[in-house]
């Protein structure tokens, strides 16, 4: 009788422990999936950006002392009002916007307001072989990492 109680107790203990184990595994898988941007994990959502709005080729001379305008485009399912401006980085060197506040303008005339940012050309990290640049940002709720890329044409210094 005493032995049976012991066995039931051990089995119950095993079940509880393995239950906790599964939960931990589930949690760690979640955080692996979340991965990506620093801290908190979450989802990655592709967005559309337009480097040099109004210019299709997006020519950039890497040593230029000026800035590169980049628009984050709103769509029917995505509003730039959800972008946490303070988390925006651009290019391989994670350049941050020059201005303290973004500028809102409908750059592609689709009736939806877009977010326009400027980055110092030299801070972006453009190299001779660079063919595209990507922008990342978090949404204001911190849950979603936004990722958008656009092509560029590197113009050699003359
Ligand atoms: Ca463009
Ligand atoms: Ca627009």
By residue range, what is the domain housing residue 115? 43-154
Q: For residue 124, tell me if it sits in a domain.
A: yes
Rounded distance from Cα 55 to ligand 1 centre (Å): 4
pLDDT, position 130: 98
Which residues lie at CB < 5 A from ion ligand 1? 50, 52, 55, 58
Query: Residue 10 gets which letter from DSSP?
Result: H
List, for residues 38-51, the tens digit of each pLDDT value: 445 579 999 999 99
Taking all residues of the chain, what is their mean pLDDT, rounded to a whole number?
A: 85
What are the CA-CA distances from residue 121 to residues 8, 29, 32, 113 (Å)? 69, 39, 34, 25
Query: What's the confidence (pLDDT) of residue 20?
Result: 45
pLDDT band at residue 1 using 50, 70 and 90 as cut-offs: low
Question: Shortest CA distance to 115 belongs to which of 149, 143, 153, 88?
Answer: 88
Angstrom distance (rounded) from CA 152 to CA 43: 27
> DSSP alpha helices (H): ranges in 43-137?
121-124
Q: What is the CATH number of the domain that holds 85?
A: 2.60.40
Q: Is residue 59 part of a domain?
A: yes
CA–centroid distance, 52 to ligand 1, in Å, is 4
Domain presence at residue 105: yes
Residue 60 belongs to a domain = yes
pLDDT in tens, 94-151: 999 999 999 999 999 999 999 999 999 999 999 999 999 999 999 999 999 999 999 9
Q: Is residue 47 part of a domain?
A: yes
pLDDT, average across residues 4-32: 51
| Distances in whole angstroms, Cα of residue 111 to Cα of each of 20, 105, 114, 142 | 51, 10, 9, 27
In a domain, 50, yes or no: yes
Domain count, the chain: 1
Q: What percent of the chain has pLDDT over 70?
A: 76
In the three-class reduction of DSSP (H, G, I as helix; E, B as strand; rest coil), residue 87 is classed as strand
Domain-located, residue 102: yes
């Amino acid at each position: 009788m005493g032995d049976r109680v012991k066995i039931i107790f051990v089995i119950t203990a095993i079940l509880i422990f393995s239950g906790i184990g599964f939960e931990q595994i589930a949690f760690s898988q979640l955080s692996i999936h979340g991965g990506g941007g620093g801290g908190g994990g979450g989802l990655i959502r592709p967005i559309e950006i337009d480097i040099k709005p109004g210019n299709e080729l997006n020519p950039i001379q890497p040593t230029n002392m000026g800035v590169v305008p980049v628009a984050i485009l709103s769509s029917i399912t995505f509003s730039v009002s959800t972008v946490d401006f303070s988390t925006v980085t651009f290019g391989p060197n994670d350049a941050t916007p020059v201005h303290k506040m973004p500028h809102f303008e409908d750059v592609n005339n689709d009736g939806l307001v877009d977010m326009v940012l400027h980055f110092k050309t030299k801070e972006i990290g453009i190299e001779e072989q660079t063919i595209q640049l990507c922008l990342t940002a978090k949404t204001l709720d911190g849950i979603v990492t936004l990722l958008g890329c656009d092509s560029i044409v590197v113009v050699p210094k003359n």
